[in-house]
């Protein structure tokens, strides 16, 4: 991230469109689908890499009726091709769960939460945790995002028989590459701040039903917070993530690295450390491990520039492109000059 810049006004909402077979016997089945509307830029004319929110096999949502009765539903299959890969999930529902969703055509009857939602019957609250240790996702063309079960969302059914999922979390994005004739691999990225970065978000189970969504509403509390978040970066071969370098035409595709964070995180700035290894290809055998590739303080704002790094709900804060290891003072693009 160098000149600290904001990008992508993200409105990550998820539509769960339901199609059911109306049957009354205990062997009834029905299906419903989940699709994701992708983030779009609201203040820039370009995006270095497409940031997709997508479903994965095994993803589970927890659905509540008005009386706190709840059932979980797990993705059965995925649809989508190209840039829309895995952005539509299909849930197959059988037996008693079909009856549970009998009123799905009545708006604001059900609320839903993702991921790993935990219900507390003592105070009728639902908890979802943004983890302090997150993982780089290398699968299915999603490389760069965090893996599944990281970004908390909630939704309510509407008159169109679908759930519209929203979130009070946001995303921090880095974009890294390396110089020509270098081998650079990223092992982990660590961000620290004086204020909480992640934690457990606790909602009333009826929140999406009883309220109209607002990205700034104080409708939840946060417990078990952490001021340090670690993004573990491994590819499909369990190796460090190797950065791209310019090809013979100077074309370069930066690798992106994303964190899910609490709304309001980074309001007072933060520190970023990138650990990995680097080498000249001709001296590959001399590559050292666990080198510090980047170690910088990033301010909350920059004088005379319209920059604010505070994480906002449903938005991506993009720290822009830069090379690793960082250039020396006065050279290249840094977060801060």
pLDDT attached to residue 31: 58
Cβ–Cβ under 8 Å, residues 310 and 264: yes
**Cβ atoms < 10 Å from Cβ of 220:** 19
- Asked, for residue 223, whether it belongs to a domain, the answer is yes
Instruction: Say what the pLDDT of residue 268 is.
Output: 93
At 286, is the secondary structure helix, strand, or coil?
helix
Torsion on CA atoms 3, 195, 265, 306, rounded to nearest 10: -40
What's the pLDDT score for residue 143? 62
**How many domains are contained in the chain?**
1
Count the neighbouring beta carbons within 10 Å of the beta carbon of residue 86: 22
In a domain, 8, yes or no: no
Per-residue pLDDT, 264: 95
pLDDT value of position 139: 67
Residue 89, both tokens:
């999930």
Q: What is the pLDDT of residue 17?
A: 46
How does strand 162-166 pair with strand 221-226? Answer: unpaired
Residue 83 has a pLDDT of: 54
Q: Are 163 and 114 in contact (CB under 8 A)?
A: no
Query: Mean pLDDT per 10-residue run, the chain (337 residues)?
Result: 38 43 52 54 37 77 95 82 62 86 90 94 97 85 76 85 85 89 90 97 95 92 98 82 78 85 95 89 66 90 68 86 67 37
Q: What is the pLDDT of residue 96?
A: 83
Is 109 a member of any domain? yes
Is residue 135, in this structure, part of any structural domain at all? yes
Note down the domain range covering 259. 13-323
CA-nearest of 220, 226, 229 to 313 is 220
**117 falls within a domain:** yes
CA distance 296 to 328: 12
Residue 337 resides in a domain: no
State the CB neighbour count (10 A cutoff) for residue 72: 12
* pTM of this structure: 0.84
- Confidence at residue 327, expressed as pLDDT on a 0 to 100 scale: 53
pLDDT of residue 205: 97
Residue 119 included in any domain: yes
Element (H, E) at 31: strand 29-37
Q: DSSP assignment of 181-230, as one string?
A: T-EEEEEEEEEE-SS--EEEEEEETTHHHHS---TT----EEEEEESEEE
Q: Please list the residues that pair with 30 across neighbouring strands.
A: 20, 93
Please tell me the distance from the alpha carbon of residue 231 to that of residue 133, in angstroms, as a whole number: 6
The helix/strand/coil state of 283 is helix
Residue 136, burial from CB neighbour count under 10 angstroms (0-12, 13-18, 19+)? buried
Inside any domain, residue 334: no
């Amino acid at each position: 991230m160098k000149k600290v810049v904001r990008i992508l006004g993200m409105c990550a909402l998820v539509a769960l469109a339901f199609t059911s077979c109306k049957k009354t016997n205990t062997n009834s089945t029905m299906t419903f689908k989940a699709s994701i509307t992708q983030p779009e830029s609201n203040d820039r004319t370009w995006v270095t890499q497409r940031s997709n929110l997508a479903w994965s096999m095994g993803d589970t949502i927890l659905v509540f009726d008005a009386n706190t009765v709840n059932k979980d539903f797990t993705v059965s299959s995925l649809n989508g091709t190209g840039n829309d890969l895995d952005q539509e999930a299909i849930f197959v529902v059988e037996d008693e769960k079909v009856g549970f969703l009998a009123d799905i055509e009545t708006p604001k009857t059900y609320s839903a939460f993702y991921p790993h939602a935990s219900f507390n019957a003592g105070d009728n609250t639902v908890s979802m945790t943004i983890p302090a240790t997150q993982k780089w996702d290398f699968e299915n063309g999603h490389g760069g995002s965090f893996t599944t079960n990281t970004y908390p969302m909630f939704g309510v059914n509407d008159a169109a028989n679908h759930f519209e999922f929203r979130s009070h979390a946001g995303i921090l994005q880095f974009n890294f590459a390396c110089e020509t004739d270098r081998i650079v691999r990223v092992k982990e990225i660590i961000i620290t701040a004086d204020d909480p970065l992640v934690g457990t978000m606790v909602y009333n189970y009826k929140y999406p039903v009883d309220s109209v969504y607002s990205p700034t509403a104080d409708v939840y509390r946060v417990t078990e917070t952490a001021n340090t978040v670690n993004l573990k970066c491994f590819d499909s071969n369990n190796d460090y993530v190797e950065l791209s370098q310019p090809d013979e035409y100077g074309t370069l595709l930066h690798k992106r690295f994303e964190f899910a964070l609490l709304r309001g995180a980074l309001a007072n700035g933060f520190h970023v450390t990138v650990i990995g290894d680097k080498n000249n290809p001709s001296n590959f055998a001399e590559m050292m491990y666990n080198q510090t590739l980047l170690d910088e303080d990033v301010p909350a704002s920059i004088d005379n520039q319209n920059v604010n790094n505070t994480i906002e709900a449903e938005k991506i804060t993009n720290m822009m492109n830069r090379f690793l290891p960082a250039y020396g003072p006065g050279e290249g693009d840094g977060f801060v000059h």
